Chains A and B, each alone.
Chain A
Amino acid sequence: MAEILAVSVAGLMKSYSSRSAPAARSGSRRRAAAPVVAPAPARGPSPDGRIRAVDGLSLSVPVGSVTALLGPNGAGKTTTVEICEGFRRADAGEVHVLGLDPIADAAALRPRVGVMLQAGGMYPGARAGEMLRLVAAHHRQPLDPAALLDRLGLTDAAGTPFRRLSGGQQQRLSLAMAIVGRPELVFLDEPTAGLDVAGRRTTWELIEELRAAGVTVVLTTHAMDEAERLSDQVVIINHGRVVAAGSPAELTRGGAEGQLRFRAPVGLELGRLLLALPDGTTATEGPAGHYLVEGTVDPQLLAAVTAWCAGNGVLAEDLRVEQRTLEDVFVELTGSELRP
């Protein structure tokens, strides 16, 4: 049977005793004052004193795609990824990675799967080049470590011990270690956390190249622009559950449709405007002279509104189309704001 899914997760459950829960990388695990909009179980300790990190989570990652797991700190992203990597055992649920079991078939999976941990994982005294060459030596046909370091802007840091690399350099080295073995599938846990603008761009370009080369990429992030730009599929996770999944376009199109705003003289006859527009479109005057048209915003709607204004001798000013961003969707679904 041909594999269509690189990763398939169904009904995943995982709780921790409060001691063994993985620490969030930085910042508070959740914004204390964030209003909870989506109906979600409180994620405190359950009656047995354990913390539910992943609570019935399901997702599918098609081969060759880039999937972003998007969610606030403590949403369960890292736990999910670490279960797929075989580092943690799920309490319940089905997990298949390249059609195999991450723990039982670990030996078969390790050569095929690249892993970027959220932090650490290096001999503190090893130099960047030594660390990458070590991991390269574990694989049969690795990339040339020197070329990969060069590509990630780490050539000058190759002789620097890991503990003296900047945070961004450590992140890029960690990415290099994930891909040096030429894997089919890579898990990147917050690949751009702590990177400057140039580092982010380099990482994004490399991820796009990985996708073009046929590598399946699963990454976690709380950066909207990253999810929007890189991914074929965004999976929004909150409280250990998937609250929405789809392409960035599908996610931003769903629910409320587009909005068209413009300014014009006060008191336009909106009833007559609506006659010129498709069914299901609404038009309202907010503050006097500020108009809002809601509906399927496409070129035809835009043309119809401007044509009606022209036909009535009205000058529509400041006309702009507003679509929901991934951020709007996210805030709507999770009640949380992401760190910028």
Chain B
Amino acid sequence: MSTPVPAMPVPDMPLLDLRPAPGAASRARMFAAQTRLELVLTLRRGESVLLTMIIPVGLLAFFAAVDVLPSGTESSVDFLVPGVLALAVMSTAFTGQAIATGFERSYGVLKRLGATPLPRSVLLAGKTAAVLAVEVLQLVLLVAVGFALGWDPDGGPAAVPSVLALLVLGTAAFSGLGLLMAGTLRAEATLAAANGVYLLLLLIGGVVFPLSKLPGWLRTIAEGLPTAALSDGLRHVLADGSGPGARPLIVLAVWAVASLGLAARTFRWE
């Protein structure tokens, strides 16, 4: 976005035609403006860049270089890339979105925008589009770093539809959870909870080490959580060259329907 250059002082006040000329802009124009601002604000926040870009890339590079993780027979980078992609989706759609939306609610942004012609559906569509745009950036970045570290994905071009389906379902599930949290808790509580859940799911989400290393009871819980479902599904496709498997798709779909449905019912805009 361009920052206007401060104008030279002009002796006369600019003429403003204040006569009423009300009307809503087209949805397309509102959507574009909303998406652009959401994206700009996300990329401007240092903590959000840390969370969504630097930490995933850092984890990928660190654990690929330092071979401390038991990852079976595969090379560690082949194991890591799918997990870190899952982490990236979670960090953007869940953690980042929950924190930003929670503070927007507490600052009255959502209330204020509710008084403009912007429909709530377009507001949410703009947020979703900004999340997807950030995810595209993460994907490009992580895939590039992965290749640089010797990543050798399986599946070939046939894997692309499966990967996209998993990413979209994962985004829906995590967005629903993020908005559910942001729409019901105080902003400060959302901040703490979203970071806590992020750390927990990083550890038990099959991101940097396989679920098989967890004790049985914890593994059972973890397998029902969206992070493990997404990292498992991506790993099936990209590391094993198979289909995503039914369980990851079902787990993600159930989380998506439940969380988005609950968020829609409980979200308080003020």
Contacts and interface: CB of A to CB of B under 8 A. Distances in A.
Interface of A: 85-87, 107, 110-113, 115, 117, 119-127, 129-130, 133-135, 137-141, 143-144, 146-151, 155-156, 158-159, 177, 179, 181-184, 209-210, 213-215
Interface string B1-44: 10110110010011111111111110001101110010011001
B86 to A, nearest CB: 27
Given A130-B1, A155-B7, A143 B30 contact: no
B269 to A, nearest CB: 9
B33 A133 contact: yes
B191 to A, nearest CB: 13
A129 B4 contact: yes
A184 B45 contact: no
24 contacts: A87-B270, A112-B20, A113-B115, A121-B108, A122-B107, A122-B112, A125-B41, A125-B44, A125-B45, A126-B37, A134-B34, A135-B116, A137-B29, A138-B24, A140-B22, A146-B7, A155-B4, A155-B7, A158-B6, A159-B4, A182-B21, A182-B22, A209-B16, A210-B18
Contact of B22 (A129, A148, A184, A209): A184
A27 B190 CA distance: 29
Per DSSP, chain B at the interface is loop
B117 A181 contact: yes
Interface residues of B, number: 43
A85 B115 contact: yes
For B44, B109, B270, the residue with the greatest tally of chain A CB atoms inside 10 Å of its CB is B109
Contacts of B3: 127, 129, 158-159
A147 to B, nearest CB: 4
Nearest to B109: A123
A156 B24 contact: no
A126 B45 CA distance: 10
A127 B4 CA distance: 11
Instruction: List 6 A-B pairs, minimum CB-CB distance, nearest first.
Output: A121-B112, A140-B23, A137-B33, A120-B108, A213-B18, A115-B115
A182 B19 contact: yes
Contacts of A119: 108
Contacts of A181: 22, 116-117
Given A139-B22, A139-B117, 13 more contacts: A87-B114, A110-B116, A112-B20, A115-B112, A122-B108, A122-B112, A138-B117, A138-B118, A140-B25, A147-B14, A158-B3, A213-B20, A215-B18
A146 B4 CA distance: 8
Contacts of A85: 115
Contacts, number: 143
B37 A134 contact: yes
Interface of B: 1, 3-4, 6-7, 10, 13-25, 29-30, 32-34, 37, 40-41, 44-45, 103-104, 107-109, 111-112, 114-119, 270
A224 B104 CA distance: 34
Contacts of B114: 87
A132 B114 CA distance: 15
Given A120-B108, A137-B30, A110 B117 contact: yes
Contact of B116 (A138, A141, A150, A179): A138
Nearest to B34: A134
- Chain A facing B: main interface SS: loop
Nearest to A112: B22
Contacts of B108: 117, 119-122
B109 to A, nearest CB: 5
Contacts of B111: 87, 117, 120-121
Contacts of B6: 155-156, 158
B187 to A, nearest CB: 11
A15 B222 CA distance: 46
Nearest to A86: B115
Contact of B115 (A87, A144, A214): A87
Contacts of A110: 24, 115-117
A111 B4 contact: no
Looking at B37, B44, B104, which has the most chain A CB atoms within 10 Å of its CB? B37
Contacts of A179: 18
A213 B20 CA distance: 8
A124 B115 contact: no
B30 A138 contact: yes
B30 A182 contact: no
Nearest to B23: A140
A135 B24 CA distance: 11
Most buried by A among B21, B29, B115: B115
Given A130-B1, A159-B3, A183 B22 contact: yes
Contacts of A215: 18-20
B37 A182 contact: no
B107 A124 contact: yes
Nearest to B38: A123
B109 A122 contact: yes
A134 B117 contact: no
Nearest to B13: A151
A143 B20 CA distance: 10
